[in-house]
Amino acid sequence: MMERKIFKDVLWETIEDYTMLLHLLPCIYNDINEKYDNNLEVAKKILLFYLENDYVSFFYENWKNPLNYIEIPKDKALKLLVETSSWENLDKDDLWVTASATKKGEHLYYSGEIMDENFKIPELFV
C-alpha cells in the first residue's frame, strides 16, 4: 500500500503545478525514509511508468520566461529522465526539466483508480 501512496503523491505533485524533477524527491523521501540516492532510483521508476503510459509529460522551463513551458517530446523526455543532471539544482540561466500531469494523469488521480489494487503499478522496492 505504501508504494501505491508514493505513486499517488508523485502524481499529485505534477497535477498541482509544473514541478521540477528535483522537487519530487521530498514527497518520496518523506514516505520511504531512505537516502536520496535510493529516492532517485524510485523517482525514475515512477516517472518512467507515468511517461511511458502518457500520465505525465515533461517540459522545459526557463526562469526568465515564467509560465512559458515548452513540451519535451516523449523520446527526449525518456532520455532526460535517466540523466542525473536533470535532477540537480541548475543555474538561473539553464533550462529546468519539469513534469506536469496530462488529462489522462489527472483522471487517474481524481477517479481514485491509482489507489485501486486492480490498477497495476511497477514494484518499487525489489
Mean pLDDT of the chain: 87
Overall domain count for the chain: 1
Q: Is residue 55 part of a domain?
A: yes
Q: Is residue 125 part of a domain?
A: no
Q: Is residue 69 part of a domain?
A: yes
Q: Is residue 59 part of a domain?
A: yes
> pTM to 2 decimals?
0.88
As a whole number of angstroms, the distance between CA 120 and CA 105 comes to: 14
Q: Is residue 29 part of a domain?
A: yes
Helix/strand/coil for 47: helix
Q: Is residue 126 part of a domain?
A: no
As a whole number of angstroms, the distance between CA 115 and CA 120 comes to: 10
pLDDT digits (tens, 9 = 90+) for 58-102: 999 887 777 789 999 999 999 999 988 888 776 666 788 999 999
Q: Which of 105, 1, 116 has its CA nearest to residue 51?
A: 105
Q: Domain of 7?
A: 2-115
Q: Is residue 6 part of a domain?
A: yes
Q: Is residue 52 part of a domain?
A: yes
